[in-house]
Amino acid sequence: MTESAAEAAPKSTRFLRPERVKEATLLAIIAVSVLVFAFLIEGYLSGRFFNRVTTSVVVVTLLAAAQALVIFSRNIDLSVGSIVGVAAYLTGDFLAATGQGPITAVLVAIVVGAVLGSVNGLLVAYGGVPAIIVTLGTLALFRTLLSIYSEGANVLAGDLPSWVLEFNNVTLFTIAGFQVRLVFLIAVFVVVGLQFALARLRWGRRIYAIGSNPSAAAQAGLPTASLVFWSFVGSGALAGLAGFMFLARAGTISATAGAGLELESVAAAVVGGVSILGGSGTMVGAFLGAVFIDTLKLSLVRVPEVSEFWRDAFLGILILAAVILDTVLRNRFNRRWSAEARKAMESTGPSAVGMARMAGGGGGTADA
């Protein structure tokens, strides 16, 4: 939807955007799911399970944010799982050798992830290779290089500084038995910071513009290659941070660490309302998608009637359902906005009608 149509539409209509509809729907689904599992599983609504979910969801949240960042620009990063593994292993190896503190460890993990992300960014933004091809290749490449580097050896929890194993359990405060841990708040602050940057900063709005219409963005003079490159660097940095969180949670890291997380990251992002076509979605939605995916995963483990095969298959079903819902909502809202824009502009004169007709053909960008 173009700016002229958006301005002509009533404020109440502009507020009711697809992203907000998806987020509200997902919140309702999460609430219903919790009630259903509370009925099926004894002791489900306990502080212990809450602590498990809020600790486990941290990695998926960071990866959903990483995935959303590149999907906004109409790309995808299937190498995030491998980046998590490489960052976790190299950071663990570094800590085992040096015994450094948490700030240094986090910086090492982020730098490792950013460097790997820059490889993807260079090939996609400046090499012109489709993102899905590049990141499928680097998914295997990064994992292979890690296997060669590790020579089959693991980073053992016993070799790490004691603070690493304690980091995941650092509790800032407790409310009625529900612990709010540091790692969870870090993930929330990252999401909030990115949400603000994408919604308020010029860089963020340009990312949405590229994803909404890459050709128009290039014709408007936006530095599309540079923005796409830095979105992949940012995605890699977030995956590197997730690698550190993975290390703190697991302790022992092998060369296969992080395998399969790319599917969860895509599922969390698209279920959270991030359009796979680019240019639409929010970081808050990606966060809600991560919460839903992780809650569902941990809950289904406690239902013996559901096999592991069906738990994995359900992620694929969620992705398909989210893409279908996104297409339906996008088409419906575009028709509604165009009709209301034409009606509003007809009262201002014939020239405005022509503008409204032009607006009707425009694609919609996200209201982050």
Q: Which residues contact 68 (CB under 8 A, 6 or more apart)?
A: 269, 272, 274, 281, 283, 286
With both helix axes pointing from N to C terminus, report the angle between 18-40 and 283-301 in degrees, rounded to the nearest 10: 20
Name the maximum alpha-carbon separation found in the chain. 76
pLDDT, mean of residues 301-320: 73
Q: At residue 360, does pLDDT exceed 60? A: no
Q: Confidence band (pLDDT; 50, 70, 90) for 10?
A: very low
Least confident of 80-84, 102-106, 197-201, 348-352: 348-352
Write b or e for each residue in 144-162: b if 16 or more Cβ atoms lie within 10 A of its Cβ, otherwise e.
eebeeebeeeebeeebbbe
pLDDT at 277: 85
> What pLDDT is recorded for position 361?
40
Percent of the chain with pLDDT over 90: 48
Query: Could you report the per-residue pLDDT of 156-172, keeping only the tens digit for each?
Result: 998 999 999 899 989 88
Q: Kind and range of the H or E element at 172?
A: strand 171-175
Rg (CA), the chain: 22
Q: Which CATH class for the 46-318 domain?
A: mainly alpha
Work out whether the CA dihedral 256, 258, 260, 262 comes out positive or negative: negative
The more confidently predicted of residues 264 and 304 is 264
Instruction: List, for residues 97-128, the tens digit of each pLDDT value.
Output: 999 999 999 999 999 999 999 999 999 999 99
For the chain, count helices (H), then strands (E): 16, 2
CA dist 254 and 273 (Å) reads 33
Looking at per-residue pLDDT, the higher value among 20 and 73 belongs to 73
The reported pLDDT for the residue numbered 9 is 44
Give the whole-angstrom CA distance, residue 187 versus residue 62: 6
Q: What is the pLDDT of residue 350?
A: 52
What is the reported pLDDT for 358? 44
pLDDT-derived band at 347 (thresholds 50, 70, 90) equals low
Has residue 359 got a pLDDT over 50? Answer: no
Residue 208 pLDDT exceeds 50: yes
pLDDT tier at 75, thresholds 50, 70, 90: very high
In contact, 73 and 228? CB cutoff 8 Å: yes
Average pLDDT over the chain, rounded to whole? 84
Place 70 in a pLDDT band, splitting at 50, 70 and 90. very high
Provide the residue ranges of all domains of the chain, joining segments of one domain with +: 46-318
Mean pLDDT calculated for residue range 244-251: 93
- Residue 144 vs residue 323, higher pLDDT: 144
Query: CB count, 10 Å around CB of 253?
Result: 26
Q: Residue 284 corresponds to which amino acid?
A: V
> CA angle, corner 71, sides to 310 and 52, nearest 5?
45
Which of 23-27, 189-193, 233-237, 245-249 is predicted with the least confidence, judged by mean pLDDT? 23-27
